[in-house]
């Protein structure tokens, strides 16, 4: 079904009809395309909310339509190198996802095509590089095709009957142009034109989807492809598309290269310039080379060689690749997330930053600075913001958002080994500005100013766990987990304060107070309780009939160093929550009338989503906790069982369904009849945290202020481990043969370290 080629950093698929679309993201930071193994997907410029280019029909059948298709008309029949969407299939076919590109290799009746799609750094365009060959002299017709849509997806759903008459699609000297002229769009002056061009002569085109596809047909059998010619339709009001007709002569065994460009530019003149650039002889090759070099440089900052090859594949390639995509897209658009309302989540993005820190400190700082702009003078933060769309933020106050900022900042400062970043000045959302150092101190102040009756942080609109918004609607509910998160960052800010020559002890005093509460009030006898409701009920207690034990307060009791009984708590994680497909978030799952019918905590079915599924994001913290407890076998079990290819093999491909090369957010738990079904892949905090867990806790290579600490917690399956880590501009080659702590001081002279 699939195979990895780690040398090339690729995964190849032999079948097009995977259980769900298995996606890749092609991007240059401005122009983006999410593309499946069968050529389906969606392209957008900067924002999928307001500058979406083509239609992608989420959740509809047939699955994974539409996409970026090139019909090859060869005599009476036609087919696509992407395999989909035609009935006539290639005789030989495979597709491959690589770092920022997707390639299709297909053959039918002596015609072979290699189609590589990627977005290079020089133009904002999806490049379709087609290499064509035939075993005999042949004339074929190519029809590259994209079904366009209204750029604002939500407006299209609601208002297309009026607004589609404000769309135009036309031919400009054999370059097709789409203008999204809809009134009252959010940023008309920044809305680009979209273009579609080829580097070979264009015989005809269509801009009107209905003309190209025809009535009661679909992308499976467009009438114009069947007829063998496009109609030269324009589209001033209606449903737009880009379709080109390209006549190609193939000489036996000679390769012909055709390039198609789906791009954006601000004006017609800019389009002309952009297309001229794209058509230059070395443009495509240069762009692809640039992409490869970029990923080489990025990934070479941390590479390992270990006996567990699945883990190695994830650590070296797919996990940091996925983490970078999360850093870029937050939780915006995936096969599961429709890219309609979620902009940049402060909580989510602050966690994503953690996995960017070892790779690119400036990118990490810029993103964190963006999050600081969402902070108010009292220290709390907006929940989501929409910097690209310019929409008003979601202003709900959650108990955890502002604390993640402290953690991200700590990681940056410690990685860099300098305090300079703390002096950068960033505006507050409600006016004025302050240094980064002042910003993070305000995070702490806000938490301190919002403690509940028992002394734990108030839950406010929920903590990390969205579902808990229901325990605090009267504003009294308290979060024991946030107390542990607070404790974790209090130790971090105390360290920074000392480094700055300020008094860190006041933070440690607060830490001790919270720690006392955790052990005296939150300890249930066997594990740590999760939270306190408005009514004063402890959720996550043996005394409760449901949701008795929750993963997060066990793992974070150890991570924060607050739990005197952390070992016992984690033993109970193993006993009650662990499965062969990961650790459940809670046990037992809740029914929809717990704690009461009117005041229920969840509407999720048992074992699904937030209710008793294996929540992969939270599993990463269990891995870290086990490392801190120095229990390598447990850490490895929790880590290994969630490796996507391992979980998929364990559950079965058609049960697991999602990609075997990226982490998902959650997996249906044992209380569901679909135990093992993986859900919400690609964009999830699992990516960043699993990377942190395995590199900084299992392999144990952690930045410290004075240097690099190597404190591994590895089972025999991962030993010996050889790691190359670039740290503060120097390359360290580290060989780990046993679990022993070692410190490399910052003089950095010692580059080969053997443990
Ligand atoms: O923490 C959240 C995240 O912000 C969105 N997905 C679910 C997580 C757990 O509730």
Pocket test for ligand 1, best of 466, 485, 611, 666 (most atoms within 8 A of CB): 466
Give the C-alpha separation, 499 to 422, whole Å: 11
- pLDDT, one tens digit per residue, over 648-670 is 999 999 999 999 999 999 999 99
Cβ of 610 closer than 6 Å to ligand 1, yes or no, is yes
pLDDT at 601 exceeding the cut of 70: yes
- pLDDT, one tens digit per residue, over 3-43 is 999 999 999 999 999 999 999 999 999 999 999 999 999 99
- pLDDT, one tens digit per residue, over 100-153 is 999 999 999 999 999 999 999 999 999 999 999 999 999 999 999 999 999 999
CA distances from 25 to 120, 204, 334 (A): 12, 31, 9
Sign of CA dihedral 684, 686, 691, 697: positive
Look at ligand 1, atom 9, and give the residue with the nearest C-alpha. 465
- pLDDT, one tens digit per residue, over 464-523 is 999 999 888 899 999 999 999 999 999 999 999 999 999 999 999 999 999 999 999 999
Residue 107 φ/ψ region, left for φ over 0, alpha for ψ in the -120 to 50 degree band, beta for the rest: beta
Residue 737's pLDDT is 95
Averaged pLDDT for residues 166-178: 98
pLDDT at 753 exceeding the cut of 80: no
Residue 750's pLDDT is 63
Q: Which atom of ligand 1 is the closest one to the Cα of 618?
A: 9
Q: Are 89 and 95 within 8 A, CB to CB?
A: no
Task: State in Å: Cα 347 to ligand 1 middle.
Answer: 8
- pLDDT, one tens digit per residue, over 221-237 is 999 999 999 999 999 99
Cβ of 123 closer than 6 Å to ligand 1, yes or no, is no
Burial class (CB in 10 A: 0-12, 13-18, 19+), 747: exposed
> Which of residues 76 and 749 earns the better pLDDT score?
76
Residue 63's pLDDT is 95
Which ranges constitute the DSSP H helices of 417-538?
436-449, 480-499, 505-517
Task: State in Å: Cα 466 to ligand 1 middle.
Answer: 6
Cβ of 348 closer than 6 Å to ligand 1, yes or no, is yes
Cβ of 374 closer than 6 Å to ligand 1, yes or no, is no
Give the C-alpha separation, 224 to 230, whole Å: 5
- Band of residue 557 on the pLDDT scale cut at 50, 70, 90: very high
Cβ of 466 closer than 6 Å to ligand 1, yes or no, is yes
pLDDT at 755 exceeding the cut of 90: no
Residue 748's pLDDT is 62
Q: Are 247 and 203 within 8 A, CB to CB?
A: yes
Look at ligand 1, atom 1, and give the residue with the nearest C-alpha. 464
Residue 596's pLDDT is 85
pLDDT at 155 exceeding the cut of 70: yes
Cβ of 347 closer than 6 Å to ligand 1, yes or no, is yes
Look at ligand 1, atom 10, and give the residue with the nearest C-alpha. 465
Tokens for 317?
A: 């390639």
Look at ligand 1, atom 4, and give the residue with the nearest C-alpha. 348
Q: Which atom of ligand 1 is the closest one to the Cα of 465?
A: 10
Pocket test for ligand 1, best of 326, 334, 465 (most atoms within 8 A of CB): 465
Pocket test for ligand 1, best of 330, 679, 685, 688 (most atoms within 8 A of CB): 685
DSSP helix, strand, coil percent of the chain (3-state; round to 5): 35, 30, 40
Task: State in Å: Cα 321 to ligand 1 middle.
Answer: 21
Q: Are 367 and 324 within 8 A, CB to CB?
A: no
Q: What is the pTM of this model?
A: 0.98
Mean pLDDT of the chain: 97
Q: Which atom of ligand 1 is the closest one to the Cα of 680?
A: 6
**Contacts of 42 by beta carbon, 8 Å cutoff, 6+ apart:** 33, 34, 48, 52, 53, 54, 55, 56, 333, 339
The values of phi and psi at residue 243, to 5°, are -140, 135
Task: State in Å: Cα 442 to ligand 1 middle.
Answer: 24
- pLDDT, one tens digit per residue, over 69-104 is 999 999 999 999 999 999 999 999 999 999 999 999
Burial class (CB in 10 A: 0-12, 13-18, 19+), 385: buried
Task: State in Å: Cα 562 to ligand 1 middle.
Answer: 23
């Amino acid at each position: 079904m699939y195979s990895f080629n780690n040398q090339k950093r690729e995964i190849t698929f032999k079948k097009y009809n995977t259980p769900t679309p298995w996606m890749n993201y092609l991007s240059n930071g401005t122009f983006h395309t999410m593309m499946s193994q069968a050529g389906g997907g969606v392209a957008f410029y900067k924002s999928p909310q307001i500058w979406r280019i083509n239609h992608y029909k989420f959740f509809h059948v047939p699955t994974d339509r539409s996409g970026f298709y090139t019909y090859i008309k060869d005599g009476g029949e036609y087919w696509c190198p992407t395999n989909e969407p035609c009935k006539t299939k290639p005789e030989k076919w495979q597709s491959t996802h690589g770092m920022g590109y997707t390639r299709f290799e297909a053959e039918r009746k002596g015609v072979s095509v290699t189609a590589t799609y990627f977005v290079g750094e020089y133009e904002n365009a999806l490049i379709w590089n087609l290499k064509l060959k035939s075993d005999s002299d042949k004339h074929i017709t190519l029809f590259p095709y994209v079904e366009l849509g209204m750029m604002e997806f939500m407006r299209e759903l609601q208002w297309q009957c009026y607004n589609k008459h404000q769309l135009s699609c036309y031919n400009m000297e054999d370059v097709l142009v789409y203008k999204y002229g809809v009134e009252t769009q959010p940023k008309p002056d920044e809305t680009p034109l979209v273009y579609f061009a080829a580097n070979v002569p264009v015989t005809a085109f269509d801009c009107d989807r209905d003309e190209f596809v025809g009535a009661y047909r679909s992308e499976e059998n467009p009438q114009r492809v069947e007829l063998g010619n496009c109609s030269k339709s324009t589209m001033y009001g209606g449903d737009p598309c880009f379709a080109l007709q390209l006549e190609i002569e193939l000489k036996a065994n000679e390769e012909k290269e055709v390039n198609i460009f789906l791009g954006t530019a601000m004006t017609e003149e800019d389009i002309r310039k952009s297309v001229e650039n794209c058509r230059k002889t070395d443009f495509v090759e240069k762009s692809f080379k640039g992409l490869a070099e970029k990923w080489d440089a990025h990934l070479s900052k941390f590479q390992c060689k270990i006996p567990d090859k699945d883990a190695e594949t994830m650590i070296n390639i797919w996990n940091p690749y996925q983490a970078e995509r999360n850093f870029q897209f937050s939780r915006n658009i995936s096969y599961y997330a429709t890219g309609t309302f979620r902009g940049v989540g402060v909580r989510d993005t602050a966690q994503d930053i953690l996995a960017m820190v070892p790779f690119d400190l400036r990118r990490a700082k810029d993103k964190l600075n963006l999050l600081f702009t969402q902070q108010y003078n009292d220290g709390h933060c907006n929940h989501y913001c929409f910097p690209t769309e310019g929409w008003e933020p979601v202003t709900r106050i959650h108990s955890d958002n502002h604390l993640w900022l402290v953690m991200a900042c700590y990681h940056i400062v410690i990685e860099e080994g300098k305090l300079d970043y703390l002096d950068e000045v960033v505006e507050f959302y409600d006016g004025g500005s302050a240094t980064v150092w002042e910003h993070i101190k305000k995070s702490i102040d806000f938490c301190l100013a919002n403690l509940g009756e028992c002394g734990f942080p108030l839950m406010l609109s929920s903590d990390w766990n969205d579902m808990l918004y229901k325990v605090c609607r009267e504003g009294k509910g308290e979060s024991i987990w946030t107390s542990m998160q607070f404790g974790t960052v209090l130790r971090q800010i105390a360290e920074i304060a000392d480094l700055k020559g300020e008094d860190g002890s006041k933070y440690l005093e607060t830490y001790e107070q919270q720690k006392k509460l955790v052990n005296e009030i939150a300890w249930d006898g066997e594990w740590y309780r999760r939270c306190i409701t408005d009514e004063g009920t402890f959720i996550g207690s043996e005394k409760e009939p449901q949701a008795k034990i929750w993963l997060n307060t066990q793992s974070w009791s150890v991570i924060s160093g607050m739990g005197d009984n952390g070992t016992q708590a984690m033993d109970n994680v193993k006993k009650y929550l662990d499965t062969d497909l990961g650790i459940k978030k809670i046990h037992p799952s809740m029914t929809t009338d717990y704690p009461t019918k009117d005041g229920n905590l969840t509407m999720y079915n048992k074992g699904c989503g937030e209710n008793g599924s294996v929540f992969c994001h939270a599993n990463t913290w269990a891995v870290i906790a086990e490392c801190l407890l120095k229990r390598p076998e447990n850490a490895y079990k929790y880590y290994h069982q969630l490796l996507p290819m391992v979980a998929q093999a364990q559950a079965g491909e058609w049960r697991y369904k999602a990609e075997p090369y990226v982490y998902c957010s959650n997996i249906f738990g044992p209380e569901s009849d679909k135990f093992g079904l993986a859900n919400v892949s690609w964009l999830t905090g699992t990516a960043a945290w699993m990377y942190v867990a395995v590199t900084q806790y299992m392999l144990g290579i952690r930045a410290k202020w004075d240097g690099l600490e190597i404190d591994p917690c590895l089972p025999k399956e991962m030993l010996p481990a050889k790691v190359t880590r670039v740290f503060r501009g120097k390359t360290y080659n580290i060989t780990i043969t046993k679990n022993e702590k070692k410190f490399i001081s910052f003089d950095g002279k010692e580059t080969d370290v053997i443990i």
